[in-house]
């Protein structure tokens, strides 16, 4: 018997989430499939979206080339841009769209001497996040240098928000204003919104949205509105069980001690599979569709769950760690992190794809 642990990826849900996200704003929408599509499989997800997506976005060139090699012909934007001239040449050959966020990238482009109008670039403005992008006072000059490069076919102006998933903060409005002032009078399309902004900040809607986490059905906002369908179901099975008397410890570090007679189920998934080690006893888990809790430390390949209240559960019972029943945000909260990190960490286990034809 093979290990019964897998991530089921619902491509129909992915397509529905994309279309919903795009419909929430006025512009086109890039589907962000960096980090192996947030752990969901970049090639499979991009292929499933190719006929409806206006384009894709990835973090770096190698991720984009993986899509090209798999036959993806849609626009693909490289969000970190290129690291050197050699990479820029590769990007141009592969018809990638590249972000230019600092002077060295601008210089590479000026040196490259590509064929005229052969490269679409996105000029990144630092509107307040202070991570990547040209400072507000340098934007007009950078834009001028770009438009003077014969190779540049178009310049799209972009920026990224620090706190779009916090609807009560004013940061996003300040960033929009700073972006507007720095780019005033410049021609070209604009792109500001990630998922949080699409869902919480309609004022940020421009020509292109960049949809990441919402594609995968994990709501980034503090008060979910139930319009997204989870794409990944992380699942396994109970493969052993035992009764413990009251007062017995379970697992590494004896972090959990039974209060009463307890039936413990052993589940074939652990932190090496992407389930967070720091998830404490009490974190919800579904067994045969009923919600119970994990008890004891998460091990590398196994976790232990409380089967005491579940009369008919036992060896072979289906376990959902997150998915349509257990919101990945609940697990992220219990683990002190965000859904993004949990999803990205799903790497070792096989993926099974379902759906994907029609929405
Ligand atoms: C990752 C990323 C996105 C997508 O963000 P989500 O919050 O997942 O929607 C958009 N824009 C940039 C620049 C990014 O790096």
CATH number at 80 reads 3.20.20.10
What is residue 49's predicted lDDT score, i.e. its pLDDT? 98
| Token pair for 148 | 């003077």
Torsion angles phi and psi, residue 11, rounded to 5? -75, -25
The verdict on 244 and 134 lying in the same domain is no
Does 312 lie in the same domain as 163? no
Tell whether ligand 1 has an atom less than 6 A from the beta carbon of residue 6. Answer: no
CA of 34 to the centre of ligand 1 (A): 9
Segment 126-135, tens digit of pLDDT: 999 999 999 9
Candidates 29, 165, 210, 339: which one to mutate for ligand 1, based on the most atoms within 8 Å of Cβ? 210
Residue range 137-158, pLDDT digits in tens: 999 999 999 999 999 999 999 9
- Is a pLDDT exceeding 60 seen at residue 175? yes
- Our answer on whether the CB atom of 124 is closer than 6 Å to any ligand 1 atom is no
34 is catalytic: yes
The annotated binding site is made up of 131, 300
Q: Residues 39, 140: one domain?
A: yes
Percentage of the chain exceeding pLDDT 70:
99
**Ligand 1 contact, 79 CB (< 6 A):** yes
Task: Locate 352 and state its tokens.
Answer: 């099974």
pLDDT digits (tens, 9 = 90+) for 104-126: 999 999 999 999 999 999 999 99
Which helix (DSSP H) or strand (DSSP E) does residue 263 occupy? strand 262-267
Local confidence band at 224 (pLDDT 50, 70, 90 cut-offs): confident
Q: Looking at ligand 1, which atom is closest to the CA of residue 196?
A: 7
Residue to mutate (ligand 1; options 20, 25, 32; most atoms within 8 A of CB): 32
> Cβ(32) to ligand 1 under 6 A?
yes
* Residue 281 counted as domain residue: yes
Q: Which two tokens stand for residue 61?
A: 């060139």
Average pLDDT (46-53) is: 98
Residue 27 beta carbon below 6 angstroms from any ligand 1 atom:
no
Q: Are strands 303-306 and 262-267 parallel, antiparallel or unpaired?
A: antiparallel
H or E element: which one contains 156?
strand 152-159
User: In the chain, what is the greatest distance between 2 CA atoms, to the nearest angstrom?
Assistant: 77
Quickly tell me which residue has 């990638």 as its tokens.
96
Which structural domain, as residue segments, surrounds residue 201? Answer: 11-216
Average pLDDT, the chain: 97
Q: What's the total number of domains in the chain?
A: 2
pLDDT single digits (tens) 16-35: 999 999 999 999 999 999 99
252 is catalytic: yes
* Binding-site annotation: residue ranges for substrate: 131, 300
**Intra-chain end-to-end CA distance of the chain, in Å:** 35
Within a domain: 5: no
- pTM, two decimals, is 0.97
Band (pLDDT 50/70/90 cuts) for residue 226 is: confident
231-265 residue pLDDT tens: 999 999 999 999 999 999 999 999 999 999 999 99
Reported confidence tier of residue 225, pLDDT bands at 50, 70, 90: confident
Please indicate, yes or no, if residue 103 is contained in any of the structural domains. yes
Asked if 192 and 302 sit in the same domain, the reply is no
pLDDT digits (tens, 9 = 90+) for 78-110: 999 999 999 999 999 999 999 999 999 999 999
Q: Considering 216, 250, 276, which residue would you say is the last residue of a domain?
A: 216
Ligand 1 near 210 CB (within 6 A): yes
pLDDT at residue 1, as a whole number: 72
With 60 as the cut, is the pLDDT of residue 359 above it?
no
In this structure, the answer to whether residues 148 and 240 fall within a common structural domain is no
């Amino acid at each position: 018997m093979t290990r019964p642990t897998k991530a089921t990826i619902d491509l129909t849900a992915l397509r529905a989430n994309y279309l919903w996200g795009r419909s929430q704003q006025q512009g086109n929408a890039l589907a962000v499939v960096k980090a192996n599509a947030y752990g969901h499989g970049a090639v499979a997800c991009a292929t499933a979206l190719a006929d409806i997506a206006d384009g894709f976005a990835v973090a770096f060139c190698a991720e984009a080339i993986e899509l090209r090699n798999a036959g993806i012909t849609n626009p693909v934007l490289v969000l970190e841009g290129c690291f050197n001239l050699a990479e820029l040449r590769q990007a141009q050959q592969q018809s990638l769209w590249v972000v230019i966020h600092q002077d060295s990238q601008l210089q590479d482009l000026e040196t490259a001497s590509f064929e005229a109008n052969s490269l679409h670039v996105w000029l990144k403005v630092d509107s307040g996040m202070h991570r990547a992008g040209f400072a507000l006072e340098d934007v007009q000059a950078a834009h001028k240098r770009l438009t003077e490069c014969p190779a540049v076919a178009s310049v799209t102006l972009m920026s990224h928000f620090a706190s779009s998933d916090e609807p009560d903060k004013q940061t996003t409005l300040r960033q929009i204003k700073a972006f507007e002032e720095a780019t005033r009078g410049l021609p070209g399309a604009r792109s500001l919104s990630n998922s949080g902004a699409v869902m919480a900040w309609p004022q940020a809607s421009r020509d292109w949205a960049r949809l990441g986490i919402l594609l995968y059905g994990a709501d980034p906002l503090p008060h979910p509105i139930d319009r997204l369908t989870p794409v990944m179901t992380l699942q396994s099975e109970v493969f052993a069980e035992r009764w413990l008397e009251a007062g017995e410890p379970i697992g590494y570090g004896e972090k959990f001690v039974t209060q009463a007679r307890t039936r413990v189920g052993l589940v074939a998934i652990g932190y090496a599979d992407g389930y967070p080690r720091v998830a404490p006893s009490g974190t919800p888990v579904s067994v045969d569709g009923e919600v119970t809790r994990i008890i004891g430390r998460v091990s590398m390949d196994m976790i232990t769950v409380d089967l005491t209240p579940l009369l008919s559960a036992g060896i072979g019972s289906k376990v959902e760690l997150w998915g349509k029943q257990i919101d990945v945000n609940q697990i992220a909260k219990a683990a002190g992190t965000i859904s993004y990190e949990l999803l990205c960490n799903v790497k070792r286990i096989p993926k099974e794809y379902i759906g994907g034809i029609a929405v």
